[in-house]
Amino acid sequence: MFSFSLPTIKLATGAASDPGMLVVGLAEAQDGDLLVGLSEDLAKATTKALGTDVLSLAKTLGASSKTGTCALLALPGGIRLVVVGVGPIDVTAEQVRRAAGAAVRMIAGLPADKPHQVTLSLDTTEPSIIKGAAEGALLGSYHYGPTKTETPGIGAITVVSTSRKPDAKQALDLAQVTAEAVLQARDWVNTPANLLYPETFVESARAVTKGSKVAIDVWDDKALERDGFGGILAVGGGSSRKPRLLKVAYAPRGARFHLVLVGKGITFDAGGLDLKTQDGMYTMKCDMAGAASVIAAVNAIAKLGLRIQVTAWAALAENLPSGTAYRPSDVLTMFNGSTVENGNTDAEGRLVLADALAKASSEKPDLVVDVATLTGACMVALGTQVAGLMARDDETADMVLDAAEAAGELFWQLPITDDAAPKLASKVADVKSTGDRYGGALTAAAFLSTFVPEDTPWAHLDIAGPAFNDAAEHGYVTTGGTGMSVRTLIALAHARAN
């Protein structure tokens, strides 16, 4: 269920006589730049017709081996060739992912009478490289559907690979399911908050997972009150659109590992009574990116049929100021019975996550990972393209970092220091939700850790920076929601499946 038309994608052992837009690579080799994926016949025909070779022509038109740079060439026979930089010749899957994304994104913006047909010829033979190329192409094709556009976009993608092994097709299938999950997360993040709020988010999740082997349970505001979810109720109390807690569970037979994913789902964050500035508020439809990621990931894991039990919990609320809004200094009673002194109504994400983490932990999972656009402090520390990772032990952190590396997503481990927890001391409750102005990402993680039992492995992903791109497009990253963390969560499930 997408707001735009998803391209079809397939493998082929060679480019067709009419390849549509043909994409080849330009790599940096020891003896100079080298074209990758260009057939010998086409190279010879071009040299004969034009009196110059394709590489020289491409460089004249601005082609470079720098990853993601693109040049468009018109060749004899009506062939339109895109030469994209892939970086050093010993390419990684992420290099190819970025190159394919940049090429397809450029093509998607070209005028045409009908959707573009794209052939990717990047000398992809290894499964990881095939997967990278396919993912990059699909991700680069994305645009938010309701936005007016004068271009027809991408209709079909063919990935050229000489490999005839079954793992080539498996890599393509994995790439397709993974990319679709990322694009679904992007679409949810990009949907305006007047259209996507707790109730409609639940309805959309039901529609997206229909036919998948998942079970859905929903706590509405009455059920939340009955079961004592004081954090979610407080945060959502200022809006006429009542909060929800959504559980999406996948439990295949024979699974021996239970992975729990918890996502922050603030469908719009005005800051509550501690109101944000106008500029700070404008992009806050993206504050549910964590929830979008965990729902999309568990649906993809179910589609892939991985033998691992995965449960996603999405804590959904709208944080608005009103006469029923919660206040700074309020004391809230959480799902696990502990009390929290609220320090700031604009630190709402940790409150809804705390309730969901406490509930999820009651099922005694083997690993808990929460995902949230949680703190500006993490953005200050790591910028807008790297997410933060915090965990109580390095073994758990390494497990997630290995999955991120396999997926091609950038995370950096930050510590939960010994001085973080004392900053959360309260005179009127068990804990305070905020500390001082220093190390805000670390104190937020320290607060969340109190809602996960000490003996339960747990990691916290702060994706505040890279979850939403309001800068220039790059590689396979378009403007708006990015779907950051979806690929990592799927890779993590792959690694832990039996």
Predicted confidence at residue 2, as pLDDT, reads: 84
Domain boundaries, the chain: 8-166, 196-496
| C-beta separation of 301 from 250 below 8 A | yes
Distances (CA, A) of 46 to 57, 422, 476: 10, 70, 30
- pLDDT of 149 > 80? The answer is no
Mean pLDDT, to the nearest integer, of 97-102?
98
Which is catalytic among the residues 350, 359, 392, 432? 350
Confidence of residue 57 (pLDDT cuts 50, 70, 90): very high
Q: Give me the sign of the Cα torsion angle 391, 392, 394, 399.
A: negative
| C-beta separation of 495 from 262 below 8 A | no
Within 13 A of 223's CA, how many CA atoms are on the CB side?
Answer: 8
Predicted confidence at residue 5, as pLDDT, reads: 87
| Candidate from 38-52, 142-156, 430-444 with smallest mean pLDDT | 142-156
With a pLDDT cut of 70, the percent of the chain lying above it is: 99
Q: Is 350 a catalytic residue?
A: yes
CATH architecture of 196-496: 3-Layer(aba) Sandwich (3.40)
| C-beta separation of 371 from 458 below 8 A | no
Mean pLDDT, to the nearest integer, of 395-410?
98
Q: Is 423 a catalytic residue?
A: no
Classify each residue of 185-202 as buried b or exposed e, where b means 16 or more C-beta atoms within 10 Å of its C-beta.
Answer: bbbbbbbebeebbbbebb
| Candidate from 2-11, 249-258, 440-449 with smallest mean pLDDT | 2-11
Predicted confidence at residue 164, as pLDDT, reads: 87
CATH architecture of 8-166: 3-Layer(aba) Sandwich (3.40)
Confidence of residue 324 (pLDDT cuts 50, 70, 90): very high
Mean pLDDT, to the nearest integer, of 254-259?
98
- pLDDT of 148 > 80? The answer is no
Identify residue 404 by its one-letter amino acid code. Answer: A
How confident is the prediction for the chain on average, in pLDDT?
A: 96
Classify each residue of 86-108 as buried b or exposed e, where b means 16 or more C-beta atoms within 10 Å of its C-beta.
Answer: bbeeebbbbbbbbbbbbbbbbbb
- pLDDT of 147 > 70? The answer is no
Same fold: 8-166 with 196-496: no
Mean pLDDT, to the nearest integer, of 434-446?
96
